[in-house]
Amino acid sequence: MTVPHLYLLKCPKSIINYFNKMNIGFSILTNISDMPTSNYIVISTWNPEVREHWVETIHLLRRKAKFNPLIILSFQKEKDLLTEVDDFCEGVFFLRLPFCYEEISKVFGSLQNIDKDKLILQQQLTLRKYIYAIWAKLDHGGELELINSILVPIRSTLLLPFEAKKKKELLINIAERINSKYWNSEEMLELRESLNQLIPQSDFELQLKKIVVDIDSLLTGIEKYKGESDDIQLIAFIDSIAKDISKVTSNTTKALYDG
């Protein structure tokens, strides 16, 4: 049997030395985005040095459609680890430390039994959990952060009694600031990417996707601002987005429990 090349992710030095002694070829991954999407093996373990839990790593990999088989190394028993993984066992294999070459060879022989459809279901579940958690975080006492951070500054500027050229300059500056400091921040980009990959299963999820598309359209459309004739149309568009956000905000708690 051909031994596949291994990719070590978040592994302490002791694990790296372990594989060196076993003469198994591997590469060290420092960034999940650099991970190959082909059928390579990824070795993931809890690293005490960085205090990042392996369960969070599994969720992140599946959310980003990294369906590589995962081998979890631990000194704990498999039955104890399974209670932490819940519905994310497909494509995940457990090896208790220390292990021998024959044991990891059995894992390599199990790769053909991975159900790809279950992996896609896992991805959708992780996307849904992440999106709902971030959306709840954005919701503050019925007023969503998106309204205050994006809609209010643009709407207020549209109401200013300035000539078209001056107002357009202000709007473009505001849009650029919103993009750089908020809309394109790491957390918001992750939320938007997750929503883009999500297959909606409820009106709540459809509304979330629509809100993101509309905000993108608003921010990119400011470049086309011509003057006072656009004010009424843009304000109406902003108000419609705010209405959708308020509607979704009122359903956030219910959606979280339903999800």
| pLDDT recorded at residue 140 | 64
| pLDDT recorded at residue 259 | 42
Examine the pLDDT at 179 and tell me if it is beyond 80. yes
What would the mean pLDDT of 211-218 be, rounded to a whole number?
96
**Higher-pLDDT residue of 123, 259:** 123
| pLDDT recorded at residue 234 | 96
Angle between helices 228-250 and 203-221 (to 10 degrees): 160
**Higher-pLDDT residue of 185, 88:** 185
**Cross-strand partners of 28:** 8
- H or E stretch covering 112: none
Examine the pLDDT at 7 and tell me if it is beyond 70. yes
Q: Provide DSSP, 176-241.
A: HHHIIIIITSHHHHHHHHHHHH----SHHHHHHHHHHHHHHHHHHHGGG--SHHHHHHHHHHHHHH
* Alpha carbon distance 119, 199 (integer Å): 14
Please name each of the domains of the chain with its CATH number.
6-114 (3.40.50.2300), 121-258 (no CATH)
Mean of the per-residue pLDDT values of the chain: 83
How does strand 70-74 pair with strand 41-45? parallel
Q: What is the pLDDT of residues 25-82, one digit of tens each?
A: 888 887 777 777 666 777 766 555 444 567 778 888 888 888 888 888 887 777 777 7
Amino acid letter, 203:
D
**Higher-pLDDT residue of 80, 12:** 12
CB 44 within 8 A of CB 58: yes
| pLDDT recorded at residue 72 | 85
Tokens of 252: 């956030």
- Show the CA angle centred on residue 10, arms to residues 7 and 12, nearest 5°: 105
**Cβ contacts of residue 1 below 8 Å, gap of 6+?**
105, 108, 109
CB 61 within 8 A of CB 70: yes
| pLDDT recorded at residue 37 | 67
> Which range, of 37-51, 77-91, 103-117, 200-214, averages the lowest pLDDT?
37-51
